[in-house]
Amino acid sequence: MFHDIDRRTLVKLGLIGAGLAALPAGVLAQLYPARGFTHAVASGDPGHDNVLLWTRFVGGGEAAMLRAEVAEEPGFGRIVARAEGAATLAKDWTAKLRVTGLTPGRWYFYRFVGPDGGVSPLGRTRTLPAGRLDRFNIAVFSCSNKGFGYFNAYGHAAKRADLDLIVHVGDYFYEYRPGVYPAVAQQVGGRVPVPDHELIALADYRARYADYRTDPDLAALHRNFPVISIWDDHEFANDGWTGGAENHQSDEGPWEDRKAHARQAYYEWLPVAERPYNRYDIGDLVTMLVLDTRIEGRDEQLSLAAAAQAGKEGLIAFRDGPWSDPKRTLMGLPQEQWVADELKSSTHGRTRWQLLAQQIVMAKVNTPKEAAQWVGPDAPKRIQAFVQAGIVAASVGLPANLDSWGGYAPARERLLASAQDAGASLVVVSGDSHNAWAADLAHGGKPAGVEFAGQSVTSPGYESALKADPKVVAAGIVAASPELKWCDTSRRGYVTVAFTPAEARADWVFMADVRTPGTATGADQAAVAKHGRNRMSLV
C-alpha cells in the first residue's frame, strides 16, 4: 500500500499514530496516498508582490523537490514567477513555497510540478492591492464540524466571482473522537472524521487535517482564493488557554507537548505565516490585523457556574474581584501593545478602515430573564444550569459566556480604548459562537467600533439546546444586550464584508441546509457602518 514506506515506519516517523495504523487499508490509502499530489493546492498569507503557495506531494526517500509556477492566465502561456522547494517526510510531505516579484492587486493562476514531471491541480490566487483602492470584499468563516453536516458554505463561496480574499477565524476542525460532538444520533451519514479517537499526538492532528482537506467544498475554496487564517481552540483542544484546556486531562500527557503537536500540524497543513498574529495592508482602504485571542497569551477562563453557586452575593464579589482584575489578559501584553501600535500606524498612514480578524465575540451579550422559559423540562441539566447562571449573572451586570471577550472585561476595554486613541474606524470580525451577531462596540460611553460576528459553517447554535422559537430567542437576547443590533441563533453559513472608502457593509449568507449537499441559500441580513462613525445600521 505504501510501497517502500510501511506502516511501522510511518508510526516511527510520527506520520501516523498507532491508532491510525490499525485503520482499514482503504481509509489509510485515502488519507495518505502512496505517491504524488494528494491534496490539491492552496494559497495564503498574501502580500503586495508575493503569496504563499501550498501543496502536498508524497515522494520516495525523505524529500521531493517541487517547482511552483505562476501565470496570468490558466493556459500558462507565459510563466511570470517560479519558486522551488521540497515536500519532506519530516513535514508530512507538505510544502509551502513563497513566490515573489508579482504585481499588486492582481489575480494569478498557479500549479506545482513534481520531480517526475507530474502537475498538480490548478489554483487561483491574488496579491493584495497597493495604493488607492475603491473596493475590497472578504468572506469570513468559522466552526466547520464535519460530523454535523456538509460544508455547503465553503462550496457556495468557492463559486463566487465577487470575493477577493477568504478569512478563516478558527475551528477549522474539531479535535473530538467520533461520537462525542456530534453524538452518534446527531451525525450526518458518511461524515465521520478520521482518526477514530481524540487528537493528542502529532500524527492525530495531521490525520484530521488530511481528512478535512479531502472535502470537495473545502478543497474548492482553497483552490480558488487565497486564505488568511488563524486558529481557535478546537485546532488544539476545547476551551484552550496558554496553560491548558477544558478538553485536556492529565493522563493525556503534558499540555505543552499537545500544543506543540497541534501548532506544528497547523503550520504544515495550511498556507499560513508561522507567527501567531499578523498585519495585512489592503491598499489605502483596509489595515487588517489578524489576532490570536486563544493560545499564546490567554489567561485561564473564569468559572461563572462556580461563582453562581454562592448566589447573588457571590456573583457580586466575583464581578468586583476576579472578573474585574486588570492583570488578566486575553492576548498577552506584548500582543496588546502591538495592536495599539499598529492601529496608530494605520490611522497615521491615512488608511480608511482598521479591521480586527479574531476568534471570539467581543460584544457584550446578556441572558434575559425570560430565557428560563426557553429551556424544555427534559433539557440536560448542564443546559438548565447554564441558563440559570446566565440569568443571575445578568442581574449583576455579568455576561453569560466567559470564554469570549466577556470573560476578559479589562482587556476588552484596553483594546477599545486603544482604537479610540488611534482614531480608528474599527471593524471587528469574529466566529466561535456558531451564531450571527451585529453589534456597536463602545468604551467609556462613546462609540469604539462595530462587530460583524459570523455564524458557523456547520456547528449548531442555540437552536440545538433551546426549545423556543429562534426568533423569540434572538429578540430576547438583543433586548437584554444594549450593544447588540441584531442576531440569528439558528442558521449556518458565513459573512462577507465589503469595504469602500465610505462604508463597510456586512452580508450574512445563510445556507438553506447543511445536512444534505447543496448551495441553496435562505433569507439573508445586512448591516452598514459609515466611515468614521463606529456605528452601524441594519439594511
Give the model confidence (pLDDT) of 90-103 as tens digits.
999 999 999 999 99
* C-alpha neighbours within 13 Å on the C-beta side of residue 89: 16
Residues of the chain with pLDDT under 50: 1-5, 9, 12-13
Q: Where in the chain is the domain with CATH 3.60.21.70?
A: 286-492
> CA-to-CA distance for 193 and 174, rounded, in angstroms?
9
**pLDDT confidence of residue 15:** 52
- Third-level CATH fold of 37-127: Immunoglobulin-like (2.60.40)
Report pTM: 0.94
Between the CA of residue 141 and those of 75, 157, 492, what are the distances in Å?
31, 10, 10
**pLDDT confidence of residue 30:** 61
CA geometry: angle 74, 139, 460, nearest 5 deg: 125
Are 54 and 41 contacting, i.e. CB atoms less than 8 angstroms apart?
yes
**pLDDT confidence of residue 1:** 28
> CA-to-CA distance for 476 and 371, rounded, in angstroms?
8
480: enclosing H helix or E strand: helix 470-480
212: enclosing H helix or E strand: helix 202-212
Q: Where in the chain is the domain with CATH 2.60.40.380?
A: 37-127
482-485 CB contacts, 8 Å cutoff, 24+ apart = 482/364, 483/363, 483/364, 483/439, 483/440, 483/441, 483/442, 484/363, 484/365, 484/437, 484/438, 484/439, 485/438, 485/439, 485/440, 485/527, 485/536, 485/538
| Paired sense of beta strands 165-168 and 226-229, if any | parallel
**pLDDT confidence of residue 380:** 84
Between the CA of residue 34 and those of 28, 204, 250, what are the distances in Å?
10, 19, 36
Nearest partner of 262 among 294, 308, 214, judged by Cα: 294
218: enclosing H helix or E strand: helix 216-224
**pLDDT confidence of residue 21:** 58
- Third-level CATH fold of 286-492: Purple Acid Phosphatase; chain A, domain 2 (3.60.21)
Nearest partner of 268 among 95, 19, 35, 507, judged by Cα: 95
**pLDDT confidence of residue 31:** 62
SS3 state of residue 158: helix
**pLDDT confidence of residue 32:** 63
- How many other CB atoms are there within 10 angstroms of residue 399's CB atom? 22
